[in-house]
Amino acid sequence: MLSRYFTVRQEVSEHEIIIQKSRFIAHIKRAENEGEAQEFIQTLKKKYWDANHNCSAYLIGENDQIQKANDDGEPSGTAGVPILEVLKKKNLKDTVVVITRYFGGIKLGAGGLIRAYGKATSEGLETAGIVERRLVQVIHVKIDYTWLGKVEKELRLSTFIIKEINYLDHVVIEVYVDTEQGQAFIDWMVDLTNGSCNFTKGENVYLEEEKSTN
């Protein structure tokens, strides 16, 4: 699992621009496998069956091992590839883009098409929103109630994130810790409580934080 990577928000997004009277509608979705990407593409092709083109591209996998681009009738290399290149430039993973085009009567030429599909993708991504997914581990810190005030205060002042506090016979604080910071976190807790704490390592999960598309 990657320690961190960029992708789009979970919600499907849509953004339209008009260039030389042609409508370019960008549809963007997170897709964690090729089946999800293809299903999204086919759904939009059925919805926009009357459009001149439904061009698409997707980039999937930890090492970008699945890359596909489709011009859907536009001149070769003028639609799918420009969409894919924007995804690569933004360092995005697990993302599928479909650009629906309604021809407005003015031919754009190869260069114009490349710029148009690139622009539609870039603006579509701004609307969709880019997030950074960061791999963390949930670490359960068990302490006596006498340490609660100090530990909670220090945690809230730190970069670590409290997931939950369980008030049982002892206090158990669940904390999100970056996977590469696990030992440093444990050492810090031991020092903070003079060794009066116990740890249980929980599951690994991804946290998401929205990032600028610039």
Per DSSP, the residues of 167-208 read ESSSEEEEEEEEGGGHHHHHHHHHHHTTT-EEEEEEEEEEEE
Q: Over the stretch 17-48, which tens digit does the pLDDT of each residue have? A: 999 999 999 999 999 999 999 999 999 999 99
Q: Match 């997170």 to its residue by tokens.
A: 30
Q: Phi and psi for 112 in degrees, rounded to 5?
A: -65, -40
Instruction: Give me the pLDDT at residue 212, please.
Output: 64
Q: What is the pTM of this model?
A: 0.86
**Which neighbouring-strand residues pair with 99?**
26, 55
* DSSP code for 90: T
Determine the Cα–Cα distance for residues 162 and 176; give it in Å rounded to an integer.
6
Cβ pair 100, 94 in contact under 8 A: no
Residue ranges covered by each domain of the chain: 6-128, 132-211
Q: ∠58-66-62 over CA atoms, to 5°?
A: 100
Q: Which residues of the chain have pLDDT under 70?
A: 212-214
Determine the Cα–Cα distance for residues 207 and 210; give it in Å rounded to an integer.
10
Which secondary-structure segment (H or E) carries 125?
Answer: helix 109-128
Instruction: Give me the pLDDT at residue 27, please.
Output: 98
Residue 2: other Cβ atoms inside 10 A: 11
User: Which 3 state secondary structure label does DSSP give 139?
Assistant: strand
Which secondary-structure segment (H or E) carries 37?
Answer: helix 34-47
Determine the Cα–Cα distance for residues 86 and 60; give it in Å rounded to an integer.
14
User: Which 3 state secondary structure label does DSSP give 40?
Assistant: helix
Q: Match 């759904």 to its residue by tokens.
A: 43
The architecture of the domain spanning 6-128 is 2-Layer Sandwich (3.30)
Q: Is the dihedral of CA 128, 46, 83, 23 positive or negative?
A: negative
Q: Match 């409508």 to its residue by tokens.
A: 23
User: Which 3 state secondary structure label does DSSP give 20?
Assistant: coil
Q: Which CATH number is associated with domain 132-211? A: 3.30.70.240
Q: What residue type is 158 in one-letter code? A: S
